[in-house]
Every structure is written in C-alpha cells, then in structure tokens.
C-alpha cells in the first residue's frame, strides 16, 4: 500500500478548508461574544477598553495547528504501514503510474486529488484571490468584496465582517445558498445584513481594475464599488488536469470530474475515485465514508455501494446554518403533499442584550408516511444540533416520534421536538 502526495497531508479540509475556516470562524464570533457579555454584567478589557484583535497572532496560531495536524496524518499513515512517496503521480495505464520519473505498478489505483477553486474569466481576474489565499493574507483589508452565494462565500463574508472588515457579499443569483432550502437563504441574508454585511443580489462582476486607491469592481447590471480585497468563491473544479486519466481510459465529465458508479469505480476496472474529484457530495466526511465503503468492496469481499441519502451538513456563517434531508422544494417534487413545521425566535442568551438575531428551525414531513424527511436550522451551534437530529432522520423517524421525545429545557434544540403547529400552505 502506497500513497503519492506532492503537497501537505490532509488535503483541502486540513490545509485550506474546514479546519482553518472553523478556526477563523471562532475568531470572528468573539467580537459579538464580548458585546453579549456586557449584558450579563461583564466588562471586557482593561479599564473597560474595547477588546483588540491581532490578525498576525491568529495566523501564527492557525499555522501551528495545521502543521500539527499535517504531522498527525503522516504518522497515522506510517503506523498503518503505508509507503509515502513524495511527488505528483500521473497515470500511464490501468495499473501503472509514474512519480518523479519512476514507474510503479498496482492492482488498484485510487484517485483522490480533490478540487481547486476557480475564478471567472473576466478582465482583471489576476487581482482577485480565492479561499486558498484568504488563509494566508499578510494583513486584513479595510474593505472586502466576497463574490458568491454558496457556503464558502457566506462563511468568509461572515469571517471578514466579524473581524472588523467592511464587507460586501455579491451574488449573481436572487437568493443565497442555492441547493439548500430556500427559506434558509432568505433568513441568512437578513441576519447577515443586520450584522453589517452589505449583500448585493443579482450582482455579477464584469471586470476588476487596479487603481491607486484600491480595486475598482464593475458589475454587469448595477453600480460598482471600490475595495481593498476581492475574493471569489464561485465554484471549485475537480483536480484531474495532467494526471493522465484520459490516456489510461478513464472517462471524465464536462467539468473534469471522474465519472464513477455507485461503487466509486471509474470506466477502468482497476481505477477508482472518491471525494471532490468525483464532484458528488463535496464534503470531507463524505469522502471519508466513500473510502471506507470502497475498502469494504475491494478488500473485504463486501460490495458496498455509496449512501448519499440524508447527509447532514453545516455552513459556518454567522449565524450558523445546518441541514439534513430534503429542502422543502425537493421534498415536494418527490413526495407531493407535505406538512411543514417551523419556528423563529430570539435565543434566551440574547434576551439580556440588544442583539436582535433570530434563530430559525424547520421540519419537512411527508404527509403520507409522516416521516421527517428534512430538518433545517439557522442559529448558534446549528451544526452541533443537527448532527443529533440527523440520526433520527436517517433512521426514518416520524413526526410523532419527534413529538414523543422529551426536550431539554431551556435549549434551542428542544424546539425540534416541541413543534406542534403546521405552517400555513
């Protein structure tokens, strides 16, 4: 067993994804936490001075933690007896690869090269950055434009805003978080705007010009603006270029993704692919699960198909978003008649402060079977709460079973088992 790696271990998630992003998200929340603390009698800072934030300290501590994780992953591989080959691998055939000019053969070859962020082909695109570079900025900008409406865009807009940057989020669509329940996108936009993020919908940048005072961004159908930093979070492309996949006979989709079946097998029997490079569900835990299912198929004699149903996910914007199961729109397409339960409320923690943020929760229920087929939330610790709810949804729990579960009071999570009134059609 061997692994070829030309960069740092851990992939996107550990190095320029989930882990550093969550650390940045924690940092961005502290400003509000300090404000909330005052409502509970705490005076934060020396002589009640405003707390100060130091970007360089956050970067250094983040880099130290990522380096630690890189070492952890490498040691796990070594202890498992995996041969580590430093270098970029290219395929020469169904059973042969080349690394640093040396050829290697294997019965099975697994492609797990992930994806890479892209920037639209507009004039001045060289002045913009992606999420990759955002983790290594020498200094925070005074004014930032984040382009995109997906989870990476809203997360970084929240991070910049929370760290004191004048932040604008521009999205070419009419609502944020395409593919999620539509109400989540609408509620998130309202909450982010209240926290100070300027949100431009139906806004598509057409060019970027470098000026002495900053970056001038022009939009296709509305007035532009000037910023110190422009970050695109408008999509990622599977990392398949120059890997020799086509030469080996592997079929690729139009976007470069490896086309695989339910067992993660490509068009070549000996070559499999998992994770973002297949562009199925691009989440780290999903890639890990795909690897486990593939290991059972190839090495345990237990053919195990992928299971992408009811995968929970979280968006670490401010406020957090989390979801499992089907959005209302897709549930109606699949089941027809639905019962919808939802609530919006101000969290107990905020009642002694001037904060107006409202949490939002929603259950989507198939009317015929009364199974809960979707659970959605916006609010503090949404990911932590939905992880538990996901077990019930995965097991096919009914609304009556949710209702029969005793809530923990006072918590936000108890709302999921105390929703009784159906929402108006």
Active site residues: 409
Query: Helix (H, G, I), strand (E, B), or coil: what is residue 183?
Result: helix
For helices 18-38 and 55-79, the axis angle rounded to 10 degrees is 140
Report the C-alpha gap between 159 and 153 in whole angstroms.
10
Burial 253-276 (b: 16+ CB within 10 A, else e): eeebbbebeebbbbebeebbbbbb
Q: Which of 366, 420, 360, 412 is nearest to 393 (CA)?
A: 366
Cα-flanking dihedrals φ and ψ of residue 221, to 5°? -130, 15
Three-class secondary structure of residue 191 per DSSP: helix
d(CA 170, CA 198): 8
Tokens of 409: 């009071």
Quote the CA–CA distance of 191 and 177 in Å, as a whole number.
Answer: 14
Q: How far apart, in whole angstroms, are the C-alpha atoms of residue 130 and residue 236?
A: 10
Instruction: Return the structure tokens found at 65.
Output: 């933690």
Place of tokens 């019962």: 339
The helix/strand/coil state of 262 is: coil
CB 317 within 8 A of CB 297: no
3-state helix, strand, coil in the chain (%, to 5): 35, 25, 40
Bridge partners, residue 232, by sequence: 147
Nearest Cα residue to 203 out of 153, 141, 264, 257? 153
Q: Tokens 């108006």 appear where?
A: 424
Q: Which two tokens stand for residue 117?
A: 């962020």
CB 110 within 8 A of CB 8: no
Three-state SS for 390?
helix
Residue carrying the six token digits 């690394």: 99
Helix (H) or strand (E) holding 4: strand 2-5
């Amino acid at each position: 067993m061997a692994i070829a790696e030309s960069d740092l271990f851990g992939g996107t998630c550990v190095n320029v994804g989930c882990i550093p992003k969550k650390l940045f998200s924690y940092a961005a929340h502290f400003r509000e936490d300090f404000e909330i603390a005052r409502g509970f009698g705490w005076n934060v800072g020396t002589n009640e001075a405003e707390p100060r934030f130091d970007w360089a300290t956050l970067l250094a501590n983040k880099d130290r933690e990522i380096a630690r994780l890189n070492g952890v992953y490498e040691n796990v591989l070594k202890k498992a007896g995996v041969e580590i080959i430093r270098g970029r691998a290219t395929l020469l055939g169904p059973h042969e690869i080349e690394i640093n000019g040396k050829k290697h053969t294997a019965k099975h070859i697994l492609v797990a090269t992930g994806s890479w962020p892209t920037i639209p082909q507009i004039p001045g695109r060289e002045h913009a950055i992606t999420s990759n570079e955002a983790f290594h900025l020498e200094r925070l900008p005074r004014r930032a434009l984040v382009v995109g409406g997906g989870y990476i865009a809203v997360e970084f807009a929240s991070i910049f805003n929370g760290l004191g940057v004048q932040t604008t989020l521009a999205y070419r669509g009419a609502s944020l978080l395409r593919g999620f329940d539509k109400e989540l996108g609408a509620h998130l936009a309202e909450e982010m705007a209240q926290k100070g993020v300027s949100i431009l919908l139906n806004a598509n940048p057409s060019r970027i010009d470098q000026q002495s005072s900053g970056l001038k961004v022009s939009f296709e159908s509305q007035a532009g603006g000037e910023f110190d930093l422009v970050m695109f979070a408008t999509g990622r492309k599977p990392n398949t270029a120059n890997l020799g996949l086509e030469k080996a006979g592997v079929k690729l989709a139009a976007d470069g993704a490896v086309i695989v079946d339910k067992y993660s097998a490509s068009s070549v029997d000996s070559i499999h692919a998992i994770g973002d490079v297949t562009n199925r569900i691009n989440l780290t835990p999903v890639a890990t699960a795909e690897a486990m299912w593939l290991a059972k198929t190839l090495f345990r004699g237990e053919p195990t198909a992928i299971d992408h149903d009811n995968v929970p996910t979280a968006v670490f914007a401010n406020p957090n978003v989390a979801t499992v199961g089907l959005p209302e729109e897709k549930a109606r397409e699949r089941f027809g008649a639905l019962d919808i339960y939802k609530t919006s409320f101000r969290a107990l923690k905020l009642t002694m402060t001037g904060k107006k943020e409202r949490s939002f929760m929603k259950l989507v229920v198939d009317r015929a079977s009364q199974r809960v087929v979707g659970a959605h939330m916006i609010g503090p610790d949404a990911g932590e709460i939905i992880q538990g709810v996901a077990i019930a949804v995965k097991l096919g729990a009914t609304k009556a079973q949710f209702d029969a579960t005793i809530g923990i009071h006072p918590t936000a999570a108890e709302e999921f088992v105390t929703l009784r009134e159906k929402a108006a059609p």
